[in-house]
Copies of this chain bind each other. A is one copy, B any other.
Amino acid sequence: MTHPVSPLAQPFPELPAIAGVTPHVVRAGYKNWGRCDLTYVTFAPGTAVAGVFTKNLCCSSEVEIGRANIAQGSARALVVNAGNSNAFTGYRGREAVEQIMDQVARHVGCAREEVFVSSTGVIGVPLPKDKAREGVEKALVAAPCSWEEAANTIATTDTFAKGATASALIGETTITISAIIKGSGMIAPDMATMLGYLFTDAAVSPAFLQQCLSAANTRTFSCITVDSDTSTSDTVLAFATGQAGNAPLIDENSPGADAFAAAIGDVCRQLAHLVVRDGEGASKFIAVTVSGAVSDESARKVGMAIANSPLVKTAIAGEDANWGRVVMAVGKAGEPADRDTLSIGFGGIWAAKQGLPLADYDEAPVAAHLKGQDVTIQVDLGLGDGAATVWTCDLTHGYISINADYRS
């Protein structure tokens, strides 16, 4: 089952190689397909790791184990299986993950806690151990591959390969981040978990790497939604090899801390937008900006209520400046909001201010804005200084076709 390439797709960027990071791809044959489906990335000794994981309580063994092993702070290898999420597979799923960790650790000569595993694909079928073993065996001796090959190999229902890069000047050293991600719906038939990986040559403490990734996550991956559904396997990991040789190690208070954090944030934002741009059935990229909330978190929640509203998303699909539906979504968010201080607009033009439709509201420029591929919805709650931007896509017949018009 392949879907047409998203109309919002972007070409795969030029991603720089990262010293100390070597990607490889092979075909384990998790599904009956010709493509590579196992990605194996090795890291030089001394590589720091950080991660953020799904909050879904029914998460996979990969997520449980990865979350526990982030604490020790170092990584030597990453294995990503595509075609089988290994979620909801009990002890048999856990054994398959541990087998991969052991097999790689033996070969690399590291602790098994330094081997990170992700899986994405169908739920409820234990990852076949024999295919995993043979796949890893091939991967351990495979030739290095390009970032684009790795991005294609971690993908499942994605319609285009996704990558992003950023760099920062730390003292006199340039550090570089290259990153890949997969995901289209939050979860999908065969499946569309979001898995993202950042690779950098920066020398950074694991604690600060985690701090940067967690902060970026709050503003980026936690601010996107395709269909409000949350995968059991969502994972974003950051690996820092230290091979750029910047000294001292970047830490919370060191020179360059802000520049490094900004670069991580920038890459995460780019990756998050790419996932929305591959949203199932998406025809428009929607930014929802909320200001005047009682706090940033409150603004984010109001933004997500708008971005998750099927009625707002179908209105945008229909190129209809239906601000009544935005009012409804603000009201149902459950966050502090007052009808009489609420303002709503599209594409920078206010339709209603302080609880009343504008008498001189001209819908023509708004209608023109909504015909484009990039749509903005702005909301001011008129209560405080809290602000946030969240991103989503419209809800179209394409979403229904992808998710309903198939038989598993």
Question: Which A residues contact B (CB, under 8 angstroms)?
Answer: 55-59, 87-90, 122-125, 185-189, 191, 227-232, 308-311, 314-315, 317-325, 327-334, 336-340, 342, 352, 355-357, 394-397, 399-401, 403-408
Contact = CB atoms under 8 A, between A and B. Distances in A.
A281 to B, nearest CB: 9
Majority secondary structure, A binding face: loop
A59 B337 CA distance: 11
B404 A56 contact: no
Q: 9 smallest A-B Cβ distances: which pairs? A: A123-B324, A58-B331, A314-B403, A56-B331, A318-B404, A314-B404, A317-B404, A230-B332, A227-B310
A325 B58 contact: no
B324 A87 contact: yes
Contacts of A336: 57
A185 B231 contact: no
A57 B315 contact: no
B356 A89 contact: yes
Q: How many copies does the complex hold?
A: 2
Nearest to A330: B58
A185 B311 contact: yes
A229 B397 contact: no
Contacts of A325: 123, 187, 229
Given A58-B327, A87-B327, 20 more contacts: A57-B337, A88-B324, A88-B357, A90-B356, A123-B327, A124-B323, A187-B311, A187-B324, A228-B228, A229-B328, A229-B329, A310-B310, A314-B399, A314-B400, A317-B404, A318-B405, A318-B407, A320-B404, A396-B400, A397-B401
Contacts of A310: 227-229, 310, 399, 403
B90 A355 contact: yes
Contacts of A122: 324
A124 B324 contact: yes
B331 A57 contact: yes
A395 B400 contact: yes
